[in-house]
Chain A
Amino acid sequence: MTTPATRRRVEEALLPPLVALLVALVVGDILIILVGQSPSAVFSLMLSGTWGNWYGFGQVLYKATTLICTGLAVSFALRAGLFNIGAEGQLAAGGFAAAVMGLVLPAGTPGLLAVPICILAALAAGGVVGAIPGVMKARFGAHEVIVTIMLNFIVLALLNWIVASHLHVPETLHTPDMRAGTVARLMDWVPAFHGSAVNASLFIALAAAGVMGWMLFRTRAGYELRAVGLQPDAAEYGGVKVGTIWMKAFLISGALAGLGGINYVLGYKYYYEEGFAAGSGFLGIAVALVGRNHPLGVVIAAFLFATLSQGGLAIHALVPKQMVEVLQGVVILAVAAAVPEVRRLVLGARSGAPT
């Protein structure tokens, strides 16, 4: 199966993230040496603090859950040729809606009913926020990047107002505890995970990745969506309603980001708290980029970024954890720069080689 064509495709997909990781490693080394520590000691501590023990591994799984959702959200929109920078706001809206639904439901509502209702609330809230830029683009030609950036600020300010002036527990910035709709922590089943926040939302996120892969690559709707992403004019000519696809793609993208909110709300804290998204929406862009917009790639990339962010806490005794934020930025910058370069090299190699 290793025809030159598939090999090129694999190279094109894998080389940029690998180059980026290498660059990040070098930058990391420089920062570590600046602090006066040994890079090998720091990186091995990062590994043992994340994948080396159950608690660390559980935290990686927990952090990956949200990132899978936001990464899928960004990827899904990108497959339709749309840039969703609004995952941060959509994620917050999803978490908020889930928390409010859990408050509204009467105490004692069976989980089998309450959990799906809360999940639907998260999907719907994220979807509504996501649909706005889709409609704005399809109907009025407004650029989705501008609309999603501006919407992030608007949504966060709106949620801030609702929570601060109507719905918070005194002396805090979070809503009251949910009465129904919480999901189980993994430590309830695997005691070794004790203390870590990983919960059943992980499986929902993984299922979402599976569904998205099936939809994108096995259904007519997915085919049309990818066609619009590759060549909107050609797709339009081929009978696809591009504007409708844009709106649907943004709706689903927003819903996926909103789904990420259940990880924190239903699985960990059982309330909505100001600022819980904490950059996961923006990291979703990085996850989508490194995962090359493929659901499987997104899951792997989410684990990578979750490892980095948990690893930052593990190494904090030796090196400031802020190093990890620098590395995340470096990875994104390097992947973005490497993608066109690799494509050019790989395509150049093709035109040169007599296949």
Chain B
Amino acid sequence: MSEIAAFIAQTIRIAIPYLFAASGGVVAERAGVVSLTLEGFMLTGAFAATLGSYYSGSPWIGVLCGIGGGLVFGVIHAVASIRYRADQIVTGIAINLLAVGLTRFFLLMAFDSSSNSPRVPGFGVTGDAASLTGALLRNPLVWLGLLAIPAAAWLVHYTPFGLRVRAVGEHPAAAETLGVPVRRVRYLAVALSGILAGLGGVYLALDQHQFTDSMTAGRGFIALAAIIFGRWEPVRAGLACLLFAAAETLQIQLQGMQGIPSQFVQMIPYVLTIVAVGGFVARSTPPAALGKVSE
């Protein structure tokens, strides 16, 4: 029984950053803006949270700084791709490179290290496997992360803003004609995606009580994979996040046993995503105006 509890706890622990990033990313994608940027948003959020928590001594200030970091990068991406109509795939790659470069630069400036920051205050106690469940329950970011997907689903499907997001992502010209401020909706969607992915980074940094170079390690892309595997539907994307996290947990818990090499478990999200976009399981239709700029 305790093994099952440990499995669930570990799965949730791994899934929280995915859930944060995917919930925001799915809104941005539904508004027609490509979410290649999640990785960069998370990394900036993680670094800003570390700075805030370190200098203030309070993880809550860290959370605010992390939100700010993700938001700033979200706005940069939004301005480049909406105001200047830059190719969103290219700006996405630029944002990710920029996030790696800037966090490395300021890691060196602030903490005189090219690998990691000193220990910073976080929520609860971690590191003790026996109390993992307890530590999770005491971490407010865990609750927030679990709520992020239902909140995104509610936002997209049951609010006027969500209706606008979907209209803008499917047929911006028609939305414009009906008086929907296409650009403003997209700005808001991308900003929200920056904030939420930033929170995913905050969770990572505070959970490990430090920032390490490139600590997001592809998690933003796993979140993107979850969005696509979930066929741009918030709840399905959330379930995909849990699935990917469960696979990782299984791999960690089976370590040492003769079986599947860890590299093959790492591949699962990516292989499943390719299978999904190939339409082998069910028809996969992205938002019609995804990645297209409106005049």
Which residues of A does B touch, CB under 8 Å? 31, 34-35, 83, 85, 136, 140-143, 145-147, 149-151, 153-154, 157-158, 160-161, 164-165, 279, 282, 285-286, 289, 320, 322-330, 332-333, 335-341
What is the CA–CA distance of A28 and B224 in the complex, to the nearest angstrom?
31
- Chain A residues with Cβ below 8 Å from B218 are 153
Q: Is the interface of A mostly helix, strand, loop or mixed?
A: helix
Which residues of B approach A to under 8 Å, CB–CB? 34, 36, 76, 80, 84-87, 89-91, 93-102, 104-105, 108-109, 114, 218, 221, 224-225, 228, 261, 263-264, 266-267, 270-271, 273-274, 277-280, 286, 293
With both beta carbons as reference points, the residue of chain A lying nearest to B277 in the complex is identified as A142
CA distance A46 to B34 in the complex (A): 36
Nearest A residue to B85, CB-CB: A340
- Whether the Cβ atoms of B94 and A143 lie closer than 8 Å is no
- Report, nearest first, the 5 A-B pairs whose CB atoms are least far apart: A325-B101, A329-B98, A326-B101, A337-B84, A336-B86
Contact status of A153 and B93, CB under 8 A, knowing A326-B101, A339-B86, A340-B293:
no
B274 adjacent to A337 (CB under 8 Å): no
Q: Is the CB of B270 within 8 A of A337?
A: no
Q: Is the CB of B267 within 8 A of A34?
A: no
Contact of B109 with A34 in the complex, beta carbons under 8 Å? yes
16 chain-A/chain-B pairs, Cβ below 8 angstroms = A145-B36, A153-B218, A153-B221, A279-B97, A285-B93, A324-B101, A326-B102, A327-B101, A328-B97, A329-B97, A329-B98, A332-B93, A332-B97, A337-B84, A338-B84, A339-B87
User: Which residues of the other chain, B, contact A142 by a CB distance below 8 angstroms?
Assistant: 274, 277-279
Return the chain B residue nearest A160 by Cβ.
B263
Enumerate chain B residues within 8 angstroms of A325, measured Cβ to Cβ.
97, 100-101, 104-105
B98 contacts A333, CB within 8 Å? yes
Q: Which of B101, B225, B228 has the most chain A CB atoms inside 10 A of its CB?
A: B101
Determine whether the beta carbon of A320 is less than 8 Å from that of B84.
no
- A150 lies within 8 A of B94 (CB): no
- Do A151 and B274 touch (CB < 8 A)? yes
Tell me the smallest distance from the CB of A172 to a CB of chain B, in Å.
18
B277 touches A328 (CB 8 A): no
With a cutoff of 8 Å between Cβ atoms, the chain A residues found around residue B89 in the complex are 83, 85, 145
Write out the residue numbers on chain A whose beta carbons fall within 8 Å of the beta carbon of B100: 325, 329
Give the CA-CA distance A335 to B224 in the complex, in Å: 25
Selected from A141, A165, A282, A330, the residue in CB contact (under 8 A) with B93 is A282
- A140, B279: Cβ atoms under 8 Å? yes
B277→A282 contact, CB < 8 A: no
Nearest residue (CB) in B for A338 is B84
Taking a contact as CB atoms under 8 Å apart, the answer to whether B80 and A323 are in contact is no
Q: Apart from A322-B105, A329-B96, what are 9 other A-B pairs with CB-CB below 8 Å?
A: A85-B89, A143-B277, A149-B221, A157-B266, A328-B97, A330-B98, A335-B90, A336-B86, A339-B87
- A332 and B85 CA atoms in complex are apart in Å by 14
Contacts of B94 in A (CB 8 A): 286, 329-330, 332-333, 336
Nearest-Cβ distance from residue A314 to partner chain B, whole angstroms: 17
Given the interface contacts A329-B97, A330-B98, does A147 sit within 8 Å of B274 by beta carbon?
Answer: yes
A78 to chain B, nearest CB (A): 10
Chain A residue with minimal CB distance to B221? A149
